[in-house]
């Protein structure tokens, strides 16, 4: 078990009490803070993760009006959550190529990265919106009436995929009885 996993009860701490990195982690950061983004032309779904970097959760949906307003709202989230990296869903075509929409997302991600002074990592987001819609249908909710929720759920799926790909993360996590 790593020292991070041994820090029981972290999830119950408030965000304000985590303004200082947790102790007992030499040479590594003891928490991770990333924002997952599902970038669309009308909305940006935003997800965050718990401080252990194990669980992604939808936070908000930004209604896009202007780039400056997008930056302003994102900067507030970055400051509140001490964000270290932006994880952006890249909408590859089904054949694996980068189409028009993917290039628009890359352009936006590059601009927001510079404005927020944060690195960007991309995740293949094919079918995340579809998965999010299916989740709503399973909850007996109307996808057409919950577009903002779909965007948040898609952002959460994007961020969770990124978190799961990190070495030593949830894939290697074991329950105490194993």
pTM: 0.75
pLDDT(52) > 70: yes
Inter-residue contact 106 to 90 (CB < 8 Å):
yes
User: pLDDT tens for residues 76-103?
Assistant: 999 999 999 999 999 988 888 888 999 9
Domains and CATH numbers, the chain: 31-166 (3.30.420.140)
- What pLDDT does 150 receive? 86
Q: Average pLDDT in the 18-29 region? A: 39
pLDDT at 40: 92
With a cut of 80, say whether residue 174 has pLDDT above it.
Answer: no
Instruction: Please report the pLDDT score of residue 111 as a whole number.
Output: 97
**For position 30, what pLDDT does the model report?**
58
Q: What confidence tens digit (pLDDT) does each residue in 126-157 have?
A: 878 788 888 888 888 888 888 888 899 999 99
């Amino acid at each position: 078990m790593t020292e991070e996993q041994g820090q029981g009860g972290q999830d119950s701490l408030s965000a304000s009490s985590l303004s200082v990195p947790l102790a007992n982690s030499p040479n590594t950061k003891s928490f991770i803070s990333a924002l997952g983004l599902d970038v669309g032309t009308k909305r940006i779904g935003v997800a965050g993760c718990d401080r252990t970097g194990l669980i992604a959760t939808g936070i908000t949906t930004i209604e896009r009006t202007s780039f400056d307003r997008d930056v302003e709202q994102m900067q507030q989230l970055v400051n509140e959550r001490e964000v270290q990296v932006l994880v952006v869903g890249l909408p590859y075509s089904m054949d694996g190529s980068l189409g028009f929409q993917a290039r628009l997302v890359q352009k936006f991600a590059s601009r927001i990265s510079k404005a927020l002074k944060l690195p960007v990592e991309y995740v293949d987001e094919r079918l995340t919106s579809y998965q999010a819609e299916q989740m709503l249908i399973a909850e007996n909710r109307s996808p057409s009436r919950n577009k903002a929720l779909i965007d948040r759920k898609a952002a959460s799926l994007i961020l969770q995929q990124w978190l799961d790909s990190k070495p030593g993360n949830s894939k290697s996590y074991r329950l105490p009885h194993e």
